[in-house]
Structure 1
Amino acid sequence: MPEGGPVSAVITPHSKDLGGGFHVKRALPAIEKRMIGPFIFWDEFGPARFEAGKGLDVRPHPHINLATVTYLFEGEIFHRDTLGSAQAIKPGDVNWMNAGRGIAHSERTAPELRATGSPIGGIQSWVALPEKHEESAPFFKHHAESELPLIAEGGKAVRVIAGKLYGKASPVETYSRIFYADARLDAGASLPLDTEYEERGLYLVSGVIEVGGEAHEAGRLLYFHPGQAITINARTPARFMLLGGDAMDGPRHIWWNFVSSRKERIEQAKEDWKAGKFGTVPGDDKEFIPLPEH
């Protein structure tokens, strides 16, 4: 990495088996960087294909003091939660779930897709909430791809998932100043990223890009030095996610599916889940993920 260059850290995700041979690439939290803006958790799953009779089965589980963001590249996932939400998400759509003071949800493959087999691939991320909004009311909102702003010109296409970027604002409701976008570049195209936000990252999904004279391949999370304007150049056709925002208002603790500015709040959430205080998920109330022993 050139000294003084725009890239502060390059994070290589580690592989994690979520069960049933379903692997994810986990980039946040990392030793190099625990958070980028409010983004505290980052998994890429797939690309993979479920055989006929198989599918995704993330049983009901709880969250507090964060928002979960599901964004697909291929396939479909069916979301249910304790608010009674029941929503399929397809590529390009956004499922944004504000856990706030507490919610439980499940994510599964629908029966009709399970019967035939189906592809799956995308990003699951968590956004930590500002301290004053950690105990906000839980809500779930689905936004179709057609609702999200698209900037397409000169060999590049950028869809703004959340927050504001390149003068376009997403309709997704957030509690902090944030940006999150899905970008595609043709080979030879370039995309600037200015200094509007203090913390900025890029997760490369496919292709090869060049930043500050250094090439980067797929499956890497780049964190950029604050205050430096950068340009992303595509050596090959490339797809990447842009993410970040203002720095958080203090450190966050993370344990299992819980995030909070207060350790004692996480301890309370553990007891609440064991005691069944999060409630049940309508339409998916026969099983749940128990609290881990460690």
Structure 2
Amino acid sequence: MSYNKLIVEERSRDIGNFLVGRLIPFRKKRMVGPFSFIDHMGPSKIGNGRFLDVDQHPHIGLATLTYLLDGEIHHNDSIGTSQVIRPGSVNWMVAGKGCAHTERTPEKLRKGQETSLHGYQIWVALPKELEDINPEFHHFEASKIPSWTDQNTQFKLIAGTGFGEESPVPVHSPLFMLEIKTKEEYNFSAAGQLKGEIGICIVSGSITACGDVIDAGNMLISKTEDVCDLIIKANTHLLIFGGEPFPEERHIFWNFVSHSKEKIEEAKTNWKNRKWPKVKGDDTYVPLPKPVQFK
């Protein structure tokens, strides 16, 4: 039995300086900076015939960022990568002009006791002039990711720059992705620390923004760039992400992201006709979905 991805959704609404809604994209906001998609996986139980098995599928025009809070995923791609990702480490696959990959529960976890899986799959669109670069893969262990503590609150800079720190993840445009964990109430301000559009994903716990209490499972997007003031409640876990938006619109069809509808049409044709780099030793194939109108 394959275990498919899960997405947390909430109806969008305005609260003062923020939009509250599902993980992106949602109706009122298609992207946050260069971030074009966030997929919340779990938390779910893995085992007893229930595993993560995402068969071979393609990407163009973006980089995928995998960040786990619990469990393990084995990543294989058409570049030749075979990498197990664990909590706190970062997988960064640059699809560029075209890459295919699979994501599965590692073999060692298919024979033992039941385990958990919880994490995020994230798409970061590439700048227009870099959409056709050669695919790359980078992996960083948790110990290589900058982390610090302020007033008993833990910070980790997963990607990009912020708060005077820089992540080793080789991003292609100005962006940031932070993980924040509180033990007690914390007043958070992004002024002068983060540049561009700002999104806040509440993994657990709650925050207060503009007098409203927002609970886990929601995402907020600041309507004002570079400025974001929150009260983060005790025992709360957040992901904060964003950056400078691109001047051009991005089109999204299935796993393809590009400024050009023609490039997406070409990718669709190539995948449908199986003219695509393959994961070595893997003959699985996720068919192209039925055509939908461009968003």
Same structural fold, with TM-score higher than 0.5 when normalized by the shorter chain: yes
Change (3 A) 1:123 1:2: closer
Q: Whole-Å Cα distance in 1 between the matches of residues 85 and 248 of structure 2?
A: 33
Task: Classify the secondary structure of the residue corresponding to 1:215.
Answer: strand
Cα deviation, residue 37, structure 1: 0.1
Aligned counterpart, 1:175: 172
Q: Kindly provide the CA deviation profile for residues 33-58 of structure 1, in whole angstroms up to 9, marking residues without a partner as x.
A: 00000001011111111132331000
Query: Which deviations, in whole Å up to 9, do the C-alpha atoms of 1:249-273 show, x marking residues without a partner?
Result: 2101100110110001111001111
* Equivalence map 1:99-138=2 (5 Å): 99-116=95-112, 117-138=114-135
Q: Which residue of 1 aligns with 2:243?
A: 245
The residue number in structure 2 matching 1:270 is: 268
Letter of the 1:131 counterpart = K
What RMSD over aligned residues (CA atoms) do the two structures have, in Å? 1.6
Q: Which moved more, 1:141-150 or 1:110-119?
A: 110-119
CA distance in 1, matches of 2:166, 2:93: 19
Alignment check: 8 A CA contact 2:204 2:237 kept: yes
Q: Aligned partners of 1:2 and 1:108: how far apart in 2?
A: 38
Please give the residue correspondences for 1:93-242 in structure 2 after superposition, counting only pairs within 5 Å.
93-116=89-112, 117-194=114-191, 196-227=194-225, 229-242=227-240
Q: Tell me if the contact between 1:52 and 1:118 (Cα under 8 Å) persists in the aligned partners.
A: no
Quick one: distance in 1 between partners of 2:201 and 2:159? 16
Say if 2:46 is the partner of 1:50.
yes
Instruction: Give the letter for the 1:53 counterpart.
Output: G
User: One-letter code of the match for 1:41?
Assistant: F
CA distance, structure 2, for counterparts of residue 258 and residue 186 of structure 1: 39
The one-letter code matched in structure 1 to 2:139 is H
What is the CA–CA distance in structure 2 between the aligned matches of 1:2 and 1:75, rounded to whole Å?
35
Q: Deviations over 1:57-107 (max 9, x none)?
A: 000100000011100000000000001100000000100000000000000
Give 1:228 shift. Answer: 6.2
Letter in 2 for 1:96: W
Distance (whole Å) between structure 2 residues aligned to residue 45 and residue 129 of structure 1: 23
Partner of 1:18: none
Normalised by the size of structure 1, how large is the TM-score? 0.90
AA paired with 2:115? S
Within 2, Cα distance between the matches of 1:291 and 1:33? Answer: 25
Contact 1:130 1:249 in 2 (8 A): no
Matched residue of 2:262: which SS? helix
Identity of aligned residues (%): 39
Q: 1:81 aligns with which of 77, 87, 90?
A: 77
Between the aligned partners of 1:55 and 1:67, the Cα distance in structure 2 is 25
Q: Which runs of 5+ in 1 are unaligned?
A: 14-26
Q: Deviations over 1:165-194 (max 9, x none)?
A: 110100000110000111111232222212
For residue 235 of structure 2, what is the amino acid of its counterpart?
Answer: P
Instruction: Name the structure 2 match of 1:287.
Output: 284
Q: What is the identity, as a one-letter code, of the residue corresponding to 1:151?
A: W
Alignment partner, residue 60 of structure 1: 56
Given residue 149 of structure 1, which amino acid in structure 2 is its aligned partner? P
